[in-house]
Structure 1
């Protein structure tokens, strides 16, 4: 990548561990909230009398909020700092998660999830930027993966809450957990999370040299970045189609095969356990192996796991398939965040990552909606899962192009 801004070198310190630890906690809370609707879906459907198609709309409502939230949160991160935007985003998704628990109609449920998504979207670009800028470049992929493994950990926590839930109608407590958690942690972030030193130095230099941060169009398409940005967006979009289809519909698809809700919850926990393994191993490999090899292996693993899941007929086979799917799909998402963070300079990283996250959210909207429409039209779970494989291939092509530019 061409560069007109000097990169600020960061040395790891004890404070680095503190930054990554706090970002990990926020990511756990975000993961809990992102998967809460999928866990609560069967019980919500009974209370509100929702059809399969309406469930797809409910899943996608939060994704609609994530899109503008990521765009605005990423841009503001480069203008006023990562920490401030992260704090506001946390308070927003915590408060609106509590609002979700108070809803009594389908319309207010959609509004609450839309607003929650706005806060969640604003938080993610800042978590990525803070993690990437807390360590030297040679450790950047590992640092982002350490932070991002909080997402599947939060998802596993959501699934565990669902498994332990008493009764067939109680679903609001998972949103109470997703709401009070960020509000309790926010004061600790305010008091103890430092602003990115790399951002502060690069921002000061940009203000002196160029009169301020570069424009959004220059960040995304200037200085030879147009092709890289386009392929990052393609890969984000397609990967998130597959990821959010699985996150939202996996419990319902498993129940439709004759398993109990408890067994569905166990498989969702396994999905998130696999996700943690995939995220951590992918980040470490990216810092030690040629990125193209890691990208090719990860997406091949996704395709294989989807084939296994489509043909799974018993609990053991389903469990293995779901574990491998979690390793592949969530590992791929973490890998894309790391590749994206490395593709933009410090002074423009929030804008670049935020735009990629926002474009990816179109995929997170399309995935649950498309699956809902296919299922409502009579398609089997096997058909819907198999339809994700061509999407995975397109995502792999985009990621391979970006990885090739890094070699």
Structure 2
């Protein structure tokens, strides 16, 4: 919800003459948000193995709710941008931690589906943000919409503190052996072993990062980063600028904002379809195909279509666009072992945030130039780049198999039950 609020109220911010927003300023501030997410993902993805999943989730939620409150109180664009940066720190930290938790606790042979199920909540929040923008923005102003971003700190944090389990591997690394075994037993996980526990101290953090370039991953890691860059450029560029691009293409303001609701509805369907498909055929294969289909959808939107057809194209593009990126995360979870998974996901999400920084800025530059068709072409090119990068991951790993397929990664992660398997 917090990520998508900005795009949902963008037309109202631009129409608020006293606030001093322009399309170029809006694009720059959108990039501040994603720059904060970059820092949050890199920092939290590495620190969570040391501090624990639960405290980092709690801190992340508090941070992005605080940032939303700062935006609601902002007297001008600079203060507003600072609020979006603070929100980005929390949002960037939350994503890789959530993905790592799901990967660790997912049932056997359902890791990709579990990842997709978790990410449907992202799009439910996006739809809520769009609904709030449509319902509250015109009559109550954009500030009220940002006040709703404080709700997670009041609702989610108490639930996280009470119910969210800590990683057995992290508990073991802290010497809390009985607690680690109790959590593993409660959630039907194998008892944690020292190999699954992250290393302690600064040396452990350095070793976790260095392991991302171990033999068999040396080329896969930068390719995952590149795929994540392309995917997040699409996700945040489209989420921020789709209403304005559609308005520049000749659609009305209300229809243009509704397109954001429709593409997120497609995103929910896409997560469910992609997760089940990836568990059967492999996350890499599904991600690559979904990226290609996203490029096709973006090219179709270059034409000014009749409104019902435009809604249909936006919906199916949402089915492909968002889940293409999430399947990059699903593949990442299989490339790295339990002790490095949170670090690997943090760096894939964090380095990928450079795409999230570029996307809103690039969209703002295109809209300022008055060429909506070029915007859709740019997003289509990013989708092709993502398809090429993720397709090369199995090839550079040397075994030619899809790392998103259960059992396809010798010596890293195997099923049943996510145990470490010996190399053969």
Shift, 1:251, TM fit: 1.0
Deviations along 1:279-332, whole A, 9 cap, x unmatched?
A: 111111111114454233212211111111111332112211211221111011
1:33 paired with 2:25, answer no
1:402 paired with 2:393, answer yes
Checking the alignment, whether the CA contact within 8 Å between 2:170 and 2:198 is kept in structure 1 is no
Distance 1:370-1:150 versus aligned 2 partners, 3 A rule:
same
Shift, 1:207, TM fit: 9.3
Distance 1:146-1:210 versus aligned 2 partners, 3 A rule:
closer
Deviations along 1:256-282, whole A, 9 cap, x unmatched?
A: 233333212322111001001111111
Q: Which moved more, 1:361-370 or 1:303-312?
A: 303-312
1:194 paired with 2:185, answer no
1:45 paired with 2:36, answer no
Deviations along 1:236-268, whole A, 9 cap, x unmatched?
A: 011111221110001112222333332123221
- Cα distance in 2, alignment partners of residues 292 and 210 from structure 1: 29
Shift, 1:211, TM fit: 6.2
Q: Which moved more, 1:39-48 or 1:269-278?
A: 39-48
1:54 paired with 2:25, answer yes
Checking the alignment, whether the CA contact within 8 Å between 2:50 and 2:170 is kept in structure 1 is no
Q: Which moved more, 1:223-232 or 1:192-201?
A: 192-201
Q: The residue matched to 2:38 in structure 1 has which SS? A: helix
Deviations along 1:72-106, whole A, 9 cap, x unmatched?
A: 11011111211111111111111111111110101
1:345 paired with 2:314, answer no
Q: The residue matched to 1:167 in structure 2 has which SS? A: helix
What is aligned with 2:57?
86
Cα RMSD (Å): 2.1
Distance 1:312-1:342 versus aligned 2 partners, 3 A rule:
farther
Checking the alignment, whether the CA contact within 8 Å between 1:202 and 1:347 is kept in structure 2 is no
Shift, 1:166, TM fit: 5.5
Shift, 1:202, TM fit: 7.0
Q: How many residues are paired up?
A: 375
Checking the alignment, whether the CA contact within 8 Å between 2:45 and 2:97 is kept in structure 1 is yes
- Cα distance in 2, alignment partners of residues 169 and 104 from structure 1: 17
Of 304, 318, 338, which residue of structure 2 is paired with 1:312?
A: 304
Deviations along 1:354-381, whole A, 9 cap, x unmatched?
A: 1111111100111111121122234x11
Checking the alignment, whether the CA contact within 8 Å between 1:90 and 1:183 is kept in structure 2 is no
- Cα distance in 1, alignment partners of residues 258 and 15 from structure 2: 21
Checking the alignment, whether the CA contact within 8 Å between 1:202 and 1:346 is kept in structure 2 is no
Checking the alignment, whether the CA contact within 8 Å between 1:291 and 1:403 is kept in structure 2 is no
* Unmatched 5+ stretches in structure 1: 1-31
- Cα distance in 1, alignment partners of residues 365 and 391 from structure 2: 31
Distance 1:295-1:166 versus aligned 2 partners, 3 A rule:
closer
What is aligned with 2:421?
none
- Cα distance in 2, alignment partners of residues 334 and 210 from structure 1: 27
What is aligned with 2:121?
150
- Cα distance in 2, alignment partners of residues 200 and 148 from structure 1: 26
Shift, 1:169, TM fit: 6.6
1:297 paired with 2:268, answer no
Distance 1:137-1:370 versus aligned 2 partners, 3 A rule:
same
Shift, 1:192, TM fit: 1.0
Checking the alignment, whether the CA contact within 8 Å between 1:67 and 1:362 is kept in structure 2 is yes
Of 244, 265, 268, which residue of structure 2 is paired with 1:276?
A: 268
Checking the alignment, whether the CA contact within 8 Å between 1:125 and 1:357 is kept in structure 2 is yes
- Cα distance in 2, alignment partners of residues 198 and 282 from structure 1: 29
Of 156, 172, 180, which residue of structure 1 is paired with 2:143?
A: 172
- Cα distance in 2, alignment partners of residues 110 and 157 from structure 1: 22
1:114 paired with 2:105, answer no
Q: The residue matched to 2:75 in structure 1 has which SS? A: coil
Checking the alignment, whether the CA contact within 8 Å between 1:133 and 1:199 is kept in structure 2 is no
